[in-house]
A = this chain, B = another copy of it.
Amino acid sequence: MVKILITSGPTRQYLDPVRYISNASSGRMGAALATAALQLGHEVVIVSGPVPTVYPAGARVISVVTTDDMLAASQEWFTECDGAIGVAAPCDYMPQIVETEKIAKTGEPLTLQLIETPDVVATLGQTKRDDQWVVGFALETNDRRFRATVKLEKKHCDMIISNGPIAMDSDVNDVELLDTAGEVIARVKGTKQKVADVLMTEIDRRLIRKTPATPL
């Protein structure tokens, strides 16, 4: 049994006290992975942005709002975990200035200056100990496999899962699991629980139990 950190759901980056930038990540894939990990006997800590999804009762859930919050909580909890799965979709841009009062409409266009947020999975990947592993998710609309392998390397992941926008706020998913060499080691399509079960079995075998790999 090991302890696994799962980041899940979206984050929010507020423009003012009412409006924010976010995405439709529902936390369902994170919940499904947590369920699969618990069933394999592992301990699970979920760092989650605001979602309507109910996480499995056996998992410890840390609620966050912004990407900075998600990074801080993930770094703190990762120190006592054996590995991390980054399935969250944290906002990667935030407004440079956050207004303290609701921006009033003027009839004129509004120019918003956005800056990049810190990369949660990349930070975990770059700072992981030799005995820790990190699995990332890459959500891309085009050049999916190529962009996933770029992210895999840049974020120092031990595996990366490539999926498309179909994953967002959906009950189903369609993914490819890539190893550090960028080779596709599994393809799964179906309900998020089915996909999570297969992915977690692969993570368990290859990264936790370190069973030698067999070609697909």
Contacts and interface: CB of A to CB of B under 8 A. Distances in A.
Interface of A: 12, 15-24, 50, 52, 89, 91-93, 96, 101-102, 105, 107, 109-116, 139-142, 165, 168-169
8 contacts: A19-B91, A20-B22, A21-B21, A24-B50, A93-B105, A101-B141, A102-B139, A105-B116
Contact of A89 (B15, B16, B18): B18
A102 B52 contact: no
A137 to B, nearest CB: 13
Given A18-B24, A19-B21, A96-B109, 13 more contacts: A12-B24, A16-B141, A17-B141, A17-B165, A18-B165, A20-B21, A50-B169, A101-B142, A107-B116, A110-B114, A110-B115, A111-B111, A111-B114
A89 B17 CA distance: 13
Contacts of A102: 139-141, 165
Nearest to A92: B105
A165 B100 CA distance: 12
